[in-house]
Amino acid sequence: MSYYEKLANHFRKLSRLSHLGSICGWDQATMMPPGGNQARGEALAELAVVMHEMATAPQLADWFAAAKQEELSDAERVSLQAMERNWRLDTVLPAHLVEAKALAASRCEHAWREQRKNNDWQGFLPNLTEVIQLAREEAAIRAEATGTSAYDALLDLYEPGMTCAQLDALFGDLVTWLPDLIRTAEEKQKTRTFTVPQGPFPTEKQKELSQSVMALLGFDFNHGRLDVSAHPFCGGVPTDVRITTRYDEADFVKTLLGVIHESGHARYEQNLPREWSGLPVGQARSMGVHESQSLFFEMQLARSREFAELLAPMAAKVFARESDPAFSADNLHRFNTRMKRGYIRVNADEVTYPAHVILRYEIERALIEGTLAPADIPDVWHEKMQTYLGLSTLDNYRDGCMQDIHWTGGAFGYFPTYTLGAMYAAQLFAAVDRSIPNLRENILRGELTELFNWLKTHIWQKASTLSTDELIRSATGESLNPAYFQRHLRARYL
């Protein structure tokens, strides 16, 4: 057996353990009784330590050195590089920190579910402080190992190759035109009227509609399922993808768009190349690319005028509202493309969404760099919400700094990928539009196979065989160009 094959087998074993951890995490968020959290947290922490020990086994250094001397195909060399990157990321962290992070994240996320409902910032703060302190420790270790800044070191975990300098340039340009676009869109909307669909919309009917739309979008129910959690997510593994949502019987559209968003993540996972299954090279390229797929589905596709023609009769039939003018395609399109400043990121429209992301990026960067204390998060959040969106979150922690799940799990460096994903999505849709001349007519007819085949060929099947920049250039003909995002927003909202 070659050293490359030894490494491949080793990483596939790690992948199987990761599979178990993913499903246990899904169960923790969806099915587990509250009293099981301590034991589950300890079990997941133990698994994390076992995986860390395997991922940093002493013999791996020699195996990598030997594998580099072997005659490998181009594809195997790319795979070897991906394995070595993962190995280097793992070896810098001590096992005790890996365990501490897992335990702290489990405690914080589980308690957050009730604390957020109760607007209990003071109860939430001690757990969050522990998570932040551990994230700072990790960032410091990774920064020293890579010669980067603390936040850059964490950002690289989610968006390899991206830096604060690049983000500052991208986001700096965005804020030069976004406030004016928001104001102009608000003025234009005063001339547009729409009818708000009136509930109640029973949860079971919403689930029926959600699953019908998932089927339309090509979701493979033989290798995935839809459930309920406190915060929507997509998890599991490519052959067993779990997506979740939360239902609001007063607003079926909010739930449905969330399901469509997670379906974009799921289609990416379900269509990763099977020949690379279990290896780092066979995983999704980055969280920015992953978010590009969910936002491609939710924003570019599902909020289009053409998709509204598909959705309207489906929704009207499920809820028995065929004669309700609120369920006309024209009204649903206007409703789905309304722009309104709001508190909740996951419910935000395309235009205001980047403001939510930039706010979080600035706060979490300051937290990791040590220039912001955890106790001061609510005040800074309130100030930035007023600056970016003109809204007050004073004493409203539930709809302010406690609304997201990311920080409870220590996912610092993740938030910027949402707006990067929106930029990638706009650029990708423009490329698809050029490649498929009758794209919009196909969407109107519900013929989405050609569209999904394009994504499968240019994004999904590429997995991590290319860098993010190489992937975007190969799909669109150029590197990330935020002008496509601006052009898309102006065309749809102005």
> What are the catalytic residues?
262
Residues 473, 440: Cα–Cα separation, whole Å: 24
Residues 161, 479: Cα–Cα separation, whole Å: 13
The length of the chain is 494
3-state secondary structure of 277: coil
Residues 187, 172: Cα–Cα separation, whole Å: 24
Amino acid at 54: M
Q: CA Rg, the chain, in Å?
A: 22
In angstroms, the Cα distances linking 134 to 128, 156, 290, 311, 412 are 10, 17, 26, 45, 11
Tokens 């007063």 belong to residue: 250
Q: What are the structure tokens assigned to 48, written together?
A: 């994390």
Residues 248, 37: Cα–Cα separation, whole Å: 26
Tokens 């849709």 belong to residue: 429
3-state secondary structure of 481: coil
Q: What are the structure tokens assigned to 400, written together?
A: 């302010």
DSSP assignments along 7-61, one per residue: HHHHHHHHHHHHHHHHHHHHHHHHT--GGGHHHHHHHHHHHHHHHHHHHT-THHH
Cα 466 to chain center, whole Å? 20
Instruction: State the CB neighbour count (10 A cutoff) for residue 248.
Output: 17
